[in-house]
Amino acid sequence: MMKNVTAVFLVFCSASAFATKPTLLETALSCQLKDEQIASLMRDLALQQPAFVKPSQQFGAPSADIYRLPKPVSALGYSSDEVVVTPARVLLAVPAQTVSQAVDKLNLIEEAYSPASREIRPTVSVVAFQLSHKELENKLLVGCQYANNDAAGWIQ
């Protein structure tokens, strides 16, 4: 019996050792950034991943910077190689998904003229919406909104 318990313990410890710590981007997309990380997010992402040095595309009205990653990143049950940053939001651009699907999957609340959302804490919400920019047509934008003055300056 003791050998079985020891074997199970060793297997569990080995599996835990191989579990990877989420990247800064995954943390931001999953609404887990700490308040003290918000101001330096874009600078820190650029230091960690060359794709964040400069957006591949920039749009105005509404403002959005698109970053193309060499490999997909996952968060909130979605995966994409495109990250969209708007003032106070960091999002995945997921093709062929709709806001109504995200509402069901992430338990979001839909409101007129606002992204579908769910509060994580008073200044952080999971959001899902679509933009009309041609590059983002038919893509769900899903990620996090950080109600913080420093996050409003994420756009280059």
Does some domain include residue 140? yes
Share of the chain above pLDDT 90, in %: 76
pTM of the predicted structure, to 2 decimals: 0.86
Share of the chain above pLDDT 70, in %: 87
32, 22 Cβ separation under 8 angstroms: yes
29, 79 Cβ separation under 8 angstroms: no
Does some domain include residue 35? yes
Q: What is the pLDDT of residue 19?
A: 64
Q: What is the pLDDT of residues 82-115, one digit of tens each?
A: 999 999 999 999 999 999 999 999 999 999 889 9
Mean pLDDT of the chain: 89
Does some domain include residue 108? yes
Q: What is the pLDDT of residue 1?
A: 56
The domain of 108 spans 22-153
Does some domain include residue 98? yes
Does some domain include residue 72? yes
Does some domain include residue 1? no
Does some domain include residue 4? no
Q: Please give the tally of structural domains in the chain.
A: 1
Band of pLDDT at residue 14, cut at 50, 70 and 90:
very low
What does the block give as tokens for 104? 């069901």
DSSP string, 96-149: T--HHHHHHHHT-EEETTEEEEEEEETTEEEEEE----GGGTTEEEEEEEE--T
Does some domain include residue 141? yes
